[in-house]
Amino acid sequence: MRAAHAGRKSGAAGLTMSAQPSPLAGQLAGAETLIDVAALTAAYYDLRPHPSEPAQRVVFGTSGHRGSALDGSFNEWHVLAITQAICQERKAHGVTGPLYLGVDTHALSAPACASALEVLAANGVHTLLATHDEPTPTPAVSHAILAHNRQRQGPPGEALADGIVITPSHNSPRNGGLKYNPPHGGPAGPAITARIEDTANRLLERELGGVHRMSHAQALRAATTHRHDFLHAYVNGLASVIDMEAIREARVRIGVDPLGGAGVHYWAAIAERHGLDLQVISDAVDPTFGFVPLDADGCLRMDPSSPWTLRRLIDLRQRFDIAFACDADHDRHGIVTPGAGLLPASHYQPVAIDYLFRLRPRWGQHTGIGKTVVSTQLIDRLATRLHRPLYEVPVGFKWYAPGLLEGTLGFAGEDSGGASFLRGDGQVWTTDKDGITAALLAAEITARTGQDPGAHYLALANELGQPQSERVQAPATPVQKARLAGLSAHDVKAHTLAGERIERITTHAPGNRAAIGGLKVNTASGWFVARPSGTEDIYRICAESFAGPQHLQRLLEEAQALVDAVLAADEA
């Protein structure tokens, strides 16, 4: 598994380290490089996917099916087939309540929403759209599902609501996406998505035979199509999860960059409803996203974890006490402080956990902390200090939904910048990622402690350890990727890693025993996770060290050698 790559490399050939950023990083894209919205929309309707091509089949990743109409991977037929499959899933499992339909600001989202509604109406599903057709953040859809299911009358299980969010999240403007949220309000789990995939692909193979559909005009007039005020229902409830009074009274100066996403109109409503000193630095909405700075690789994506994407907000950070951004569907957060600039999620989330579990006295004593296998081990150390259960799961927010719904998880987060947490009274708020409340929590922390989250992280790291982390990748064939995903602890023959005894080898997450789709190896001072990519012929290694940068580099080099040795032995 050795190959040459551009960029800085470790001592192990083939392991691509963080490359130098593109000269275009942080700049605005030239007009000639932006998507042609008309051409993209035309491709959505005109190109028909070929289910015999693996790249053009319906595939649900960690959170929905995503692709581009230009590649034949997210077209009208995909949306029609997936929506019909969801209707059949609902019927098979007795979900008879309303379906909340949200949509973000990507160019393909509006046509996909229209296609989905045509199928939902033809299947007699009561569907709720935003009151004024405004974009709807993912957390607002989750919040609506849970509010309905909490307030409904009747026998248990009757008239439960669910939802669909049309979004490819932070991904390129050329992409589209669709994800299903069942009645627990969070992303659908693997059993549900497997059934939806299978049904949708069979419908594609039958050239949509079995798909019920009516015209969009008919669907809009159908007795089953309704309107719902997502915005005010969500905004009015925020005081139950965030101490808005503390932020208001401390007069925290807040800056927000919605990155042209689905929450763009929410922030002004939040400021007005709760009396916050909040400035939206840009309320532009344009499906080309030409106002968003380019990412490190010179590509355009709405990723609030990238300092290049957030360059304009970072440049303005001295104007504010705290600032933040969210991605296109507002389920991810990026926190910017005057001193530290953009805080990685691995810095901010431990601060959020420490604060919440000390300042939410109504949360139960046994309420736990959710993290993924690739999240910082600082959270593990923090859970021990807080005497809280730790629930470690594979990558994917879907694993957290039941715990958040039941209140057994107080906080759940992903290293990619997604998180959700309970209301102040210990009841569920959302069971999907909520970039808005995660961002507003940074303002609450600043208001109630007098220090921003960046200062709190320094204190926390000084006490519990200062981790350093890196992500790298190496090439892998489909056969090697499948082998890596199916490894067991017995496949690893090494006993030491980076000079330390291997303490634990994990292929199934300790929190729920679900397969992590790879391998995690822990020592006293660090760990690494090796996982194959779901979309590329590579595998990725995430590593973290509490023993300094040299130890981290050694971890990375030996991790690749260890993985290569296992795969080579299998091939032999």
Element (H, E) at 500: strand 500-501
Distance CA 160, CA 153 (A): 10
Amino acid at site 283: D
How many C-beta atoms surround the C-beta of residue 151 within 10 A?
Answer: 7
Sign of CA dihedral 237, 240, 246, 252: negative
Is there a catalytic annotation at residue 169? yes
| Residues 6 or more apart whose Cβ sits within 8 Å of residue 313 | 255, 257, 281, 323, 325, 336
Listing DSSP states for 315-359 in one string gives: HTGGG-SEEEEE-TTS-BEEEEETTTEEEPHHHHHHHHHHHHHHH
How far is the first Cα of the chain from the last one, in angstroms, to the nearest whole number? 14
| Residue tagged active-site, from 169, 306, 346, 416 | 169
CA distance readout (Å), 483 to 54, 378, 495: 19, 30, 21
CA distance readout (Å), 533 to 457, 539, 558: 31, 5, 20
SS (H, E, C) 73-84: CCCHHHHHHHHH
Cβ pair 49, 56 in contact under 8 A: yes
| Residues 6 or more apart whose Cβ sits within 8 Å of residue 145 | 100, 161, 162, 163, 181, 183, 185
Instruction: List active site positions.
Output: 169
